[in-house]
Structure 1
């Protein structure tokens, strides 16, 4: 029996296999999985930085191509209908300054960077107008208005491979939309395009490497109660049509969807702790680790040459789930997380460089009151390393007795955490004989009775597949 120690990566899985035997009719094989759970290990640190000139929430933020980060619009104490004021964060001096004011006050709007470097402000709450910022003369000019009002925060805006802009879904107070529109940069006009198969809001759109656009999850708003979606669709920019693709295992809303270097898409959060990966080549979803926080991960940033994913969480409600989490894109594990000291909802975030991210403004809860926040903080991956690791040992046990058996066998397993589990029997050719269980199991001990039918005497394999691992033990059946 060998026990391997941890290397420099505290999240490395190490395991030992114990073999216990035996009486004439009793045979047990137990598998133990040891892992370090690093909920006290934080990589990187936060520090305060220059505050916004004015507090704001439900604003928009975007990186410009000249080293600045812009925030625009949002609700303020003096502009409850949405402000025209913009601000620019100099990533070198880390100071804020006023930027060129928009023509129209906006909130719940989107900012989209176009291929020529200009910025488009799209719509807003009960707002159809759009305007474009020319970075050469720093002026905003109106362009064509969208055809359908997108009242809430629930739509998406995506710069397509050809330089046009696609907006999808959204909602008003009565229902969610299936309508989609494309802004043609050559004509400067919006036009309706193919509708989503399912109307949805608060979904996420991701531009794939082949130019198609994947839409995941969201909520259908024209039904009572709301229907939270696990369905997914892909937009073909050639035919301008939507097609259903494989659904996620779990419904999600306000999640993050990150395009990985290999072309797959990682979704995190959205009121789920289990993460999933979509493979466009196989059109299949698979589970990919888990996070500690479940809510509102729609701010996600790849850092350190795609080694980590920084998740900026806000709940969007009064539940106080605002926080951050660092997720490994190599091991697909959470390696650090914490709540923010201040309860600020709907904050906006932007990437400064490959190691740092800034969070800006939001709606701050102070006691029972809410105020527009001008507070800003910067996360730096290269500072503030705390090396404390809280190690816990978990055991996953899979047993069968008696073994050999001639009528039935008792299968016992012990799960360290709740999750989806598949328990199946295979013959020596690798063909599945039967599935004993497939579905969700709670943490703890479980017992199953296996009585074979229509199989011959011989050697078989019992396979346990869980979120964490796949394990097999040998079964010997004697009629």
Structure 2
């Protein structure tokens, strides 16, 4: 299963733009509001906050069509409220993983270089904030998309699963060593997995849960199983407890108390009356993995299903869930829905709708506590360059940062 949503997408890439000026949009309430935008539309990009507070956004697709994947990257400056280009990646990538290394550099690995079969990448590269440039580093042993990347306690990065050709699902894993710039193989998953979740636990072990597998005689299957990676042993061990639901394309966040919140995704087990049908359906459910008991615990449901959504930990410990997949006529489009999970109550509350529908957007916590929500597939299946900001103090989404809220 490819996570790159390609069919029926079209957008203009704004070539040659060096700084995106403010634009005006009509929000869901019908009000005309000033907005910021990236230098180019991006869906399925990667974003991360740098040590100086800037946000690096790289790659993604501008059109979802052949030739639409981007090598360009840009920086958001929270103080100046501007997006400006930075050095381009060595190759075009969408769906790549992005990981902050201990020295402040950024590892970008895998993804796809184009829409279509066998466009997956084994290469990786490093972004240096000091020079604003990307440079190639060692390559993975196989090409991967739909994989996960998790920083271990010792500063190395664990890469798990994914697909090497868009159909075949991998059971392999490898570790990137920043000191040598080399990937080395480490253990095998007990089940091949793509679009799973991964989270570093307080013990230093890594939880791998859910996801799915393509290329089977029965078609695509999704998992309710989980396993644990032990860096000391270099191997994966199955977890006895099962998830509350099979989930592929879920989002996950480690909570402040060490538990792991897993939200949404799609399930292959759909109940119709008394029958279970094999049809992938987006989920409005969530669950928590408790490392102390080694069990999965259900939470209250979300107000809407969220598949391929983002989940972002806020400074107060709550988790913001934004966007996801919905069907509009014959095409896949983004959602305006957003939810807030409060760990103390185990409940979700619906927060203000996003001003722009979002699917495969990025969501990055800023130093001031707001969340930068950027790009993605909007309504009418168009890829957007528009960004907005979730304000925890106002409990809503603003098209400009909170300092400009009075102008709305």
TM-score category of the 2 structures, normalised to the smaller one: 0.7 to 0.9
Q: How far has the Cα of 1:180 moved from its partner?
A: 0.7
Q: 1:165 aligns with which of 138, 157, 163?
A: 157
Question: Within 2, Cα distance between the matches of 1:347 and 1:131?
Answer: 22
Paired position in structure 2 for 1:372: 383
Runs of 4+ in 1 over 6 A off after TM superposition: none
Paired position in structure 2 for 1:72: 58
Quick check: 2:353–2:396 contact (8 Å CA) kept in 1? no
Return the structure number with greater strand share.
1
Question: Within 2, Cα distance between the matches of 1:192 and 1:157?
Answer: 14
Residue aligned with 2:299, SS: strand
User: RMSD over aligned Cα, in angstroms?
Assistant: 2.2
Residue 142 of structure 2 is aligned to residue 148 of structure 1: yes
Larger radius of gyration: 1
Q: How far has the Cα of 1:187 moved from its partner?
A: 2.0
Paired position in structure 2 for 1:179: 172
Question: Within 1, Cα distance between the matches of 2:372 and 2:74?
Answer: 14
Q: How far has the Cα of 1:353 moved from its partner?
A: 3.5
Paired position in structure 1 for 2:296: 285
Q: 1:269 aligns with which of 259, 264, 267?
A: 264
Q: How far has the Cα of 1:385 moved from its partner?
A: 7.1
Counterparts of residues 330-479 of structure 1 (less than 5 Å): 330-337=344-351, 339-353=353-367, 355-366=369-380, 370-383=381-394
| Count of paired positions | 334
Q: 2:220 aligns with which of 226, 229, 235?
A: 226
Paired position in structure 1 for 2:323: 313
Paired position in structure 1 for 2:95: 108
Quick check: 2:169–2:193 contact (8 Å CA) kept in 1? yes
Q: 2:208 aligns with which of 191, 194, 215?
A: 215
Q: How far has the Cα of 1:295 moved from its partner?
A: 2.0
Question: Within 1, Cα distance between the matches of 2:345 and 2:50?
Answer: 32
Q: 1:129 aligns with which of 120, 123, 126?
A: 123
Q: How far has the Cα of 1:298 moved from its partner?
A: 4.2
Residue aligned with 2:92, SS: coil
Residue 129 of structure 2 is aligned to residue 119 of structure 1: no
Residue aligned with 1:247, SS: coil
Q: 1:252 to 1:117 in 2, by over 3 A?
A: same
Residue aligned with 2:383, SS: strand
Residue aligned with 1:289, SS: coil
Q: 1:354 to 1:243 in 2, by over 3 A?
A: farther
Quick check: 1:322–1:345 contact (8 Å CA) kept in 2? no
Paired position in structure 2 for 1:456: none
Q: 1:316 to 1:145 in 2, by over 3 A?
A: farther
Question: Within 2, Cα distance between the matches of 1:291 and 1:255?
Answer: 13
Q: 1:99 to 1:335 in 2, by over 3 A?
A: same
Question: Within 2, Cα distance between the matches of 1:294 and 1:375?
Answer: 23
TM-score normalised over the length of structure 1: 0.66
Residue aligned with 2:345, SS: coil
Paired position in structure 2 for 1:255: 250
Question: Within 1, Cα distance between the matches of 2:378 and 2:396?
Answer: 28
TM-score normalised over the length of structure 2: 0.77
Residue 85 of structure 2 is aligned to residue 98 of structure 1: yes
Deviations 1:363-387 (A, max 9, x none): 2333xxx43311111110112679x
Quick check: 2:302–2:349 contact (8 Å CA) kept in 1? no
Deviations 1:36-55 (A, max 9, x none): xxxxxxxxxxx864210111
Give 5+ residue unaligned stretches, structure 2: 1-32, 113-119, 266-281, 398-408
Deviations 1:174-220 (A, max 9, x none): 22111111111222111111011011111010010111000111111
Question: Within 1, Cα distance between the matches of 2:42 and 2:316?
Answer: 32
Quick check: 1:48–1:376 contact (8 Å CA) kept in 2? no
Q: 1:244 aligns with which of 226, 238, 249?
A: 238
